[in-house]
Amino acid sequence: QVRLVESGGGLVQAGGSLRLSCAASGRTFSNNAMGWFRQAPGKEREFVAAIGWNDGTIYYDDSVKGRFAVSRDNAKNTVYLQINSLKPEDTAVYYCAADRSRWARSTPGSYDYWGQGTQVTVSS
């Protein structure tokens, strides 16, 4: 059974940092792009960041550029999202996902596997 399990979320004050992790099991995703998305209450799920299979392509949504950093450790089958300078508007459930291709993309429909999400709450 393929599983993606996110961790590292929590309650943090504005300006703080968190490091989210997404551990995959059931198969290796070393040849797949991985992505992070988030969904705030009452809003649609939105793209945050994605990283290609060999780190060659990395994309960020404009709203997080310069504050968020995505990385991966294929030996651990894990992808990370370092989030800095948090703002209240970053409050959301953060999901990781595995793309069916090698290349980083921003469209949710490109992703076949999804985690259950981890809550990030930023207080002002």
pLDDT for the residue 56: 77
Using one digit for the tens of pLDDT, what is the confidence trace for 43-62? 999 999 999 988 779 999 99
Q: How far apart are CA 84 and CA 67, in angstroms?
A: 5
Residue 99 pLDDT grade (very low, low, confident, very high; cuts 50, 70, 90): very high
Calculate mean pLDDT across residues 87-104.
96
Q: What is the 3-state secondary structure (H, E, C) of 70-97?
A: EEEECCCCEEEEEECCCCHHHCEEEEEE
pLDDT confidence of residue 54? 83
